[in-house]
Structure 1
Amino acid sequence: MTPSSFPSDGAAPPPGCPAHNLDAEGLRRLYGEEAEADPSALYEQLRAEHGSVAPVLLPGDLKAWLVLGHRENLDVARTPSRFSRDSRRWRDLREGRVTADHPLAPIAAWQPSCIFTDGTEHQRLRGAVTGSLERLDRRGVRRYVTRFAHQLIDRFAERGRADLAADFAEQLPMLVMTQLVGMPEEYGPRIVEAARDMLKGTRTAVQSNQYILDALGQLLVRKRETPGRDLTSWLLDHESQLSDDEIVEHVRLVLIAAFETTANLIACTLRSVLTDQRFRASLSGGHMTLPDALDQVLWDEPPMTAVLGRWATGDTQLGGQQIKEGDAILLGLAAGNRDPEVRPDLSKPVRGNRSHLAFSGGPHECPGQDIGRAIAETGIDTLLTRLPDIELAVPVDQVPRKASMMSQQMVSLPVVFTPRRNEVTGNLPALPESAPLPAVSQTAPPEAAALSSGTGRSWWSRLFGG
């Protein structure tokens, strides 16, 4: 059944009815308040109606396919010859339906980045990123995590209460990653605040975006003059001979991707450990390790629920559906993880099973997943060791969350515990959220100025070439 073959009797649904999430052809929207209220329920409804691949509507009521089956998701991810990462193949984009101001334009506009290329060009760009990431010392990564986790805990340990989403989960990944890319330590807190501001799309998001661009531009200049044992230096030295623009874009891609996905993973795992008796009883009794708990969360609540980013290279079939050349495909990571064919009983633990889709698969599988896991595992372990009696401060059903078409995030995670005195000196400096971000340098080097051109464009536009 194709997206255009659904009948409609023209009857208007009553107010508040889920049918408001349907268009005239009976296609369900993946966006909007009703769709985002309970994405998991929507996925199961689509699975019941269409099977492993469902026709859906994206913002602007653009037709697309959401892949719900675990096997089908891997099929799409692993066969770029049929399902390309090159967004220039998207028919709606080619035919002008995805305009410059369309909500999806920032994440679909093509640019010469590893996330939008296939074949030899993808191998060149991704090879530089993965080769450089592999040079990172995993023990050194954990030392950074432990150090920054203690410093963050010291900020709220004496209060006996905290918001673990804002005070811990959203801070730790970026603080660690700035060190791994070779940034001066004093940039860490500023970069965290800038990234948070930018991803929220506030009135100062453009300035925050510019701050990160300036910082990375100056970092590149310094690392060219004085290289170190860090990701930026290794990208500069890689045999792929990346351009300055390619290096800045990929360093920023690594920073932001690690920030958002790992922050979500930490927050969701902490909530589960604090509220799910399977986790807490097992962890305290020694039957379930923290890595096991992380795996369970990656199955049940992957940081990214769906990913737009495959386009059919020709007419083909997938999950019994007829896919046309130029159709948009969304990898349904969360839906695939709940596929009855691989998990007939969702209540059973998946201890030791890492065949989940949280990091996608195929040639575009997340290259930094081991680092993300290390940050989450070490950070959570440090927190639970420091504050062993930590408890959720509100009922679990009152923990605020927000969902979008591609992710679910913990808005806050309020907790209480016995106040404890600080254990680590050298606390990170505080930066009030309302404070303006200062310029990185009063006289930025000309190379940095050239790299940070595009002041008026949002971070998403800069990242994805919009």
Structure 2
Amino acid sequence: MNDDQTPSGATGGGCPVAHGPGVTRLYGPEAATDPHDIYERLRKEHGSVAPVLLEGDVPAWLVLGYRENRRVLDNPLQFSRDSRIWRDFRDGRVEETSPLVPMVGWRPDCVSQDGEPHRRLRGAVTDNLYAVAGRGIRRHATHFANKQIDAFADTGRADLVADFAEYLPMLVLTRVFGLAEQEGRDLAESSAQVLKGGADALTHNERIMGILGELASRKRREPGSDFTSGLIEHHSGLDEDEIVNHLRLVLITAHTMTSNLLARTLQLVLTDTAWLSGLVSGQLNLSTLVEEVMWNHPPLAVLPGRFATADLELGGCPVKEGDLLVLGLAAGNHDPEVRPDSAVSVQGNASHLAFSAGPHECPAQNIGQAIIETAIDVLLHRLPGLRLAVSPAELTSTASTWESRLDSLPVEFAV
């Protein structure tokens, strides 16, 4: 890797030269097992911003500090979401076939743009999300939660990741989008592969785009009271590419974040008797529980990506125009500068980074939370004596660059 392929080399402020052989990779075997150890090691070595390599040894800056994350997220004039200014891509060092492109590359959607184009496109998304939320998200979540539970309720055992959390949000989204229910599982698996990265990411992204392109064409002919029809009919006048790309954006983001957060919340309920007893007694509500998980296990550990619009300094590092920055949401939530003791509960504190911040803050967070709260409520009522079937120490996770997902959650219950 030559000097032109690296983020700007730093020589001071706790930010050493970025292009040496020891630059940390945010992918591969080490990153897949314990990314939190990597974040803390990088924090000790570099401070609040660290040089890293993404898939294909693509250079980036990982933002580790809470305040530095907020600075990047809150300032689109300095840190743009428009990857057309990404120097390594612009200069041909990142191929169109890179597995990073589905996550970082430019698309005609609101996430890829700033200013007035962003406001126009985001308005279409938020208007229709609010409309959909008023049409029975909790009713859909109740229906599909019961349907998922029916498949294993007579067995006395289940894996609440594979049998419940992994597909439930997508099944709700199929109803919201106006898709056929049978397409939910395929879309859930493809969404997971896009987040995972690797050689199959582009193939699965194309599969998603194909299904959603057919959906948009059908809804132009046969509109209904669904999210897709709402985008088509919105006064912002989205063109075909904008409609399909926003369907993709909401589908992948809402499903992957909600399924991950649902699994992690169930993990907390089943491994910490204080939380479970608080729920059962009514002393705690599910919103409080979900908020705790969003601090400790945000569904996206690393958020892609921002691009420096000019040479500037961040966390003591001289970032150059066109450099890629990725936002360490999990690392920021555990920043000792703002949270000296991560073991202390953060009840009542909603200032976590789990849903991003600034103009690009996730607009669908209330929908995701409604799905999670409804799903857990149904589960606890349907399965008496629900308990973990293994010791908490046996639970494992697998990480990609962007997220860390619980592998399984084996449980037992009375029949």
TM-score (norm 2): 0.90
**8 Å Cα contact 2:107-2:245 kept in structure 1:** no
1:426 — aligned with what? Answer: none
Equivalent residue in structure 1 for 2:383, among 362, 373, 387: 387
Fraction of identical pairs, as percent: 51
Q: CA deviation at 1:208?
A: 6.7
What corresponds to 2:294 in structure 1? 298
- Alpha-carbon distance in structure 1 between the residues aligned to 2:204 and 2:51: 37
Task: Give yes or no for the alignment of 1:99 onto 2:95.
Answer: yes
Opposite residue 279 of structure 1, the aligned amino acid is W
Quick check: 76-85 or 131-140, which moved more? 131-140
Contact 1:269 1:297 in 2 (8 A): yes
Give runs of aligned pairs for residues 214-293 of structure 1, distance below 5 A. Answer: 214-293=210-289
SS at match of 1:331: strand
**In the TM superposition, what whole-angstrom CA distance separates every residue of 1:47-102 from its partner, at most 9, and x where no partner exists?**
12222212222233333211111111111011110001011111111222112343
Between the aligned partners of 2:211 and 2:259, the Cα distance in structure 1 is 22
Among residues 83, 90, 93, which one is paired with 1:87 in the alignment?
Answer: 83
Of structures 1 and 2, the larger Rg is shown by: 1
Alignment RMSD, CA only?
A: 2.4
- Secondary structure (helix, strand or coil) at the match of 1:188 reads coil
Unmatched 5+ stretches in structure 2: 1-6, 13-17
Give, as a single letter, the amino acid of the residue that structure 1 aligns with 2:116: T
Partner amino acid, structure 1, of 2:292: Q
Q: Take 2:261 and 2:302, find their aligned partners in 1: how far apart are those partners? A: 15
CA–CA distance in 2 between the matches of 1:203 and 1:104?
Answer: 10
Asked if 1:340 corresponds to 2:336, the answer is yes
CA contact (8 A) 1:83 1:310 kept: yes
- Distance of aligned partners of 1:41 and 1:203 in 2 relative to their CA distance in 1, 3 Å threshold: closer
> Where does the alignment leave 5 or more consecutive residues of structure 1 unmatched?
8-21, 420-466
1:291–1:377: 8 Å Cα contact kept in structure 2? Answer: yes
Q: Does 2:26 match 1:4? A: no
Alignment of 1:2-401 (within 5 A): 4-5=9-10, 24-138=20-134, 140-183=136-179, 187-197=180-190, 199-200=192-193, 212-401=208-397
Tell me, in whole angstroms, the C-alpha distance in 2 between the residues paired with 1:313 and 1:25.
27
Q: 3-state SS of the aligned residue for 2:184?
A: helix
Deviation at 1:222, TM superposition (A): 3.7
CA distance in 2, matches of 1:322, 1:4: 8
Could you tell me which amino acid in structure 2 is paired with residue 414 of structure 1? Answer: P
Measure how far apart 1:211 and its partner are.
6.0
Whether 2:377 is the aligned partner of 1:402: answer no
Give the letter aligned to residue 89 of structure 1.
I
Q: Is the 8 A contact 2:133 2:367 kept in 1?
A: no
1:438 aligned partner: none
Q: For residues 198 and 331 of structure 1, do their structure 2 counterparts lie closer, same or farther at Cα, with a shift above 3 Å needed?
A: closer
Change in CA separation of 1:146 and 1:307 when aligned onto 2, cut-off 3 Å:
same
Distance change (3 Å), C-alpha of 1:126 and 1:415: same
TM-score by length of 1: 0.80
**Amino acid in structure 2 at the alignment position of 1:192:** R
Q: Which amino acid aligns with 2:61?
A: W
CA–CA separation in structure 1 for the residues paired with 2:141 and 2:370: 8
Cα deviation, residue 206, structure 1: 8.1
C-alpha offsets along residues 111-163 of structure 1, whole Å, 9 cap, x if unaligned? Answer: 22212111111111111111111112446111111111111111110011111
